[in-house]
């Protein structure tokens, strides 16, 4: 076994940095227990792994009558599995398919009302599980898992659950291209992007970014189609914030479509580079719209896109003066946040 790394719970640099008191002893004990579990589990035999997982699962099932306690247990189990699978992935260890099935059941049980915040964690866990099983010599587990998840996308109606399943499909496929059919997955992503429900098309944008970063959209036709969809999302009245569908009040504050479009455009820019010239008209229109968004997060992404475009020496695709105005606005915002109301007036010249 490896030496146990010191838990951040016992890092007393918080005194030097003046960031408050250390966590209570029971919280620190849980943190160390999570680390210890993640370091021990991968190196035990299959029967011990099964016993440990069945114990975790029984704790999930026996605390259903105490919602708050069950939520804490679910969170601790989920993060312990994340640490464990990270260790398995780093050490390139294998998992027995039966253990993997039990892990997937436990991950499914660890669900919350706002599961969208756990998309990335659960998707990475699923991907690492499939990769570990493949290292054991089983080539079918990843394929079967992707097919099950796609069936759930088709059969389920709950938007957050459908988005989670798509994210898991794309993460698994990203690490193992033999686990699914690229054209089928792309079609599902495009259906999500064309859906007017904020949760669905935001999930579609997140999944699109995963595929873009693996360069699966690598020809002019596919890239042009992605740009057309992003352009339509920004300028069509069918999507928020200009939508009259009634979704806006419920979801717009949490599922920011323009931020998702910005991140997707950034990924597209990183992937195709100088080939942006082929889509320059719609690209420039979408980037200009992002620049004018009042949301600081969207503006920050638009600045990053402009920086990438400048690196490719295509300054005509972005408005340099607008970028300076955004920088000025962001700096003023950051400075004002850290000053009392009676603070001095800040002036930025450029």
The string of DSSP codes covering 245-269 is SS-HHHHTTTS-HHHHHHHHHHHHH
pLDDT band at 340 (very low <50, low <70, confident <90, very high): very low
Q: Where is pLDDT greater, at 253 or 131?
A: 131
Q: Which of 29-43, 47-61, 106-120 has the lowest mean pLDDT?
A: 106-120
Predicted confidence (pLDDT) at residue 5 exceeds the cutoff of 50: no
CA separation for the pair 58, 73 (Å, rounded): 11
Predicted confidence (pLDDT) at residue 169 exceeds the cutoff of 60: yes
Predicted confidence (pLDDT) at residue 168 exceeds the cutoff of 90: yes
pLDDT tens-digit readout, 55-101: 988 888 777 777 777 788 888 889 999 999 999 999 999 999 999 99
Q: What is the pLDDT of residue 120?
A: 87
Predicted confidence (pLDDT) at residue 17 exceeds the cutoff of 80: no
Query: Rounded to two decimals, what is the model's pTM?
Result: 0.81
pLDDT tens-digit readout, 185-243: 999 999 999 998 888 999 999 999 999 888 777 778 888 888 999 999 998 887 765 55
SS3 39: helix
Question: Encoding tokens for residue 16?
Answer: 């030097």
With beta carbons less than 8 A apart as the criterion, state whether 74 and 110 touch.
yes
Q: Which of 59-63, 244-248, 294-298 has the lowest mean pLDDT?
A: 244-248
CA separation for the pair 339, 145 (Å, rounded): 52
pLDDT tens-digit readout, 129-161: 999 999 999 999 999 999 999 999 999 888 888
């Amino acid at each position: 076994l490896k030496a146990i790394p010191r838990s951040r719970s016992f890092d007393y640099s918080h005194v030097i940095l003046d960031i408050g008191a250390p966590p209570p002893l029971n919280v620190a004990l849980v943190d160390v227990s999570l680390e210890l579990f993640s370091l021990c589990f991968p190196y035990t035999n299959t029967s011990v792994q099964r016993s440990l997982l069945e114990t975790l699962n029984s704790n999930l099932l026996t605390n259903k009558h105490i919602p708050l306690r069950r939520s804490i247990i679910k969170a601790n189990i989920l993060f312990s599995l994340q640490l464990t699978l990270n260790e398995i992935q780093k050490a390139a260890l294998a998992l027995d398919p039966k253990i993997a099935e039990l892990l997937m059941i436990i991950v499914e049980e660890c669900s919350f009302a706002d599961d969208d915040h756990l998309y990335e964690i659960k998707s990475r866990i699923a991907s690492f599980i499939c990769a570990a099983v493949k290292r054991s010599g089983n080539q079918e587990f990843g394929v079967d898992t992707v097919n099950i998840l796609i069936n759930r996308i088709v059969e389920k109606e709950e938007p957050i659950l459908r988005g989670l399943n798509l994210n898991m499909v794309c993460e698994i496929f990203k690490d193992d291209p033999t686990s699914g059919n690229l054209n089928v997955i792309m079609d599902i992503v495009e259906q999500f992007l064309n859906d007017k429900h904020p949760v669905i098309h935001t999930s579609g944008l997140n999944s699109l970014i995963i595929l873009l970063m693996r360069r699966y959209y690598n020809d002019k036709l596919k890239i042009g189609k992605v740009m057309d969809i992003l352009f339509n999302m920004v300028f069509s009245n069918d999507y928020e914030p200009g939508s009259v569908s009634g979704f806006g009040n419920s979801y717009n504050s949490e599922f920011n479509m323009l931020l998702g479009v910005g991140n997707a455009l950034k990924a597209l820019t990183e992937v195709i580079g100088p080939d942006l010239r082929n889509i320059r008209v719609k690209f420039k229109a979408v980037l200009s719209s992002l620049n004018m968004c009042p949301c600081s997060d969207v503006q920050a992404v638009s600045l990053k896109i402009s920086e990438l475009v400048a690196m490719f020496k295509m300054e005509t695709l972005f408005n340099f003066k607008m970028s300076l105005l955004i920088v000025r606005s962001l700096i003023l915002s950051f400075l004002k946040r850290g000053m009392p109301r009676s603070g001095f007036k800040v002036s930025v010249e450029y």
